[in-house]
Amino acid sequence: MIALLAALTLPCAGPAIASPPTVYGRANNQSPVHRDPDELLFIPGYGFSRQDTVVYRALPDTTQAASPPRSLPARSDGHEGIADVVSTADVPYALTVKLPSVMLPGQAYVLWVHTKDNEWSDAVKINDARPLWITPDYVYVSKALAHLPRTVKIVGRNLAAAPGAVTQVRLIGPRSYLLERRTDPTRRALEPFVAEVDLPPRLPAGTYTVRIEALPPRGDPIPDGWLILDVK
């Protein structure tokens, strides 16, 4: 018997191409939601390593896309800096960081993961307002709906204003209205989840876009989300 030996040529493996980690950033699915200074933040995704660095930056307008800095911050303050990675037990699927004490409570921030190969992950936000729905989703021009108070509630996450700011609701439709949220000292615990406003006695019929805003002391409104209200 003659054995025939076939030579199999395999391509040489080249160097691995570095790719940035991916952070789960869907606002209402897996994304980090809210954290304050000195608290731990769990950042889920994939492609993380034990050498990664987490960078944060204050986000004055949560509707705008944020680009990572050109280099790692030299120091940490209320505007930007580095959050210490305190656990890599879930690498490559998550990192756990401790937010610096110099960060501002209630301030919206954007975070990135930076790798040893100088790659930046996609951005992820925390403390940004996340309206989910409104109730009711329709009202009448002037009369009450089923004998209920003539109000609209926006339901979601992170709806409480940051210190020194005021949460307002803007209606944009046949006419525009800027309404300040109702305050109730006995229901402070609900403020991050519900923003309720009194409607004007009369609204022109039509479809209104509902926008929740934070009004900082400097008077610069920051839009955070869009919902629809029908007036019949």
pLDDT at 99 over 60: yes
Q: Give the mean pLDDT of 79-106.
A: 95
Query: Can you give the pLDDT at residue 18?
Result: 62
What is the C-alpha to C-alpha distance for residues 111 and 45, in angstroms, rounded to an integer? 13
Identity of the amino acid at 161: A
List phi, psi (to 5°) of 179.
-115, 135
Reported as half-sphere exposure (CB side, CA atoms, 13 A), residue 30 has a value of 11
pLDDT band at 217 (very low <50, low <70, confident <90, very high): low
pLDDT band at 100 (very low <50, low <70, confident <90, very high): very high
Give the start-to-end residue ranges of the domains of the chain: 22-126, 130-231
Query: Can you give the pLDDT at residue 112?
Result: 96
Higher-scoring residue by pLDDT: 108, 40? 40
Query: Can you give the pLDDT at residue 61?
Result: 77
Q: Is 130-231 a CATH 2.60.40 domain?
A: yes
What is the C-alpha to C-alpha distance for residues 96 and 115, in angstroms, rounded to an integer? 15
- Which residues, 6+ apart, have CB-to-CB distance to 69 below 8 Å? 55, 57, 80
User: Concatenated DSSP letters for 112-163?
Assistant: EEE-TTS-BPPPEEES--EEEEEESSEE-SSS-STT--SEEEEEEES-SPPT
pLDDT band at 218 (very low <50, low <70, confident <90, very high): low
pLDDT at 173 over 90: yes
Q: Give the mean pLDDT of 23-31.
A: 80
What is the C-alpha to C-alpha distance for residues 201 and 190, in angstroms, rounded to an integer? 26
Query: Can you give the pLDDT at residue 123?
Result: 92
Query: Can you give the pLDDT at residue 145?
Result: 86
Q: What is the CATH number of domain 22-126?
A: 2.60.40.10
What is the C-alpha to C-alpha distance for residues 33 and 108, in angstroms, rounded to an integer? 10
Distance (Å) of CA 201 to CA 73, 125, 141, 175, 181 = 51, 37, 8, 14, 16
Q: Which of 150, 130, 132, 131 is nearest to 140 (CA)?
A: 150
**186 three-class SS:** helix
- Which residues, 6+ apart, have CB-to-CB distance to 214 below 8 Å? 129, 161, 162, 165, 166, 167, 168, 221, 222, 224
Query: Can you give the pLDDT at residue 4?
Result: 39
Q: Do domains 22-126 and 130-231 have the same CATH topology?
A: yes
Q: Give the mean pLDDT of 2-22.
A: 53
Q: Give the mean pLDDT of 117-137.
A: 91
The mean pLDDT of the chain is 85
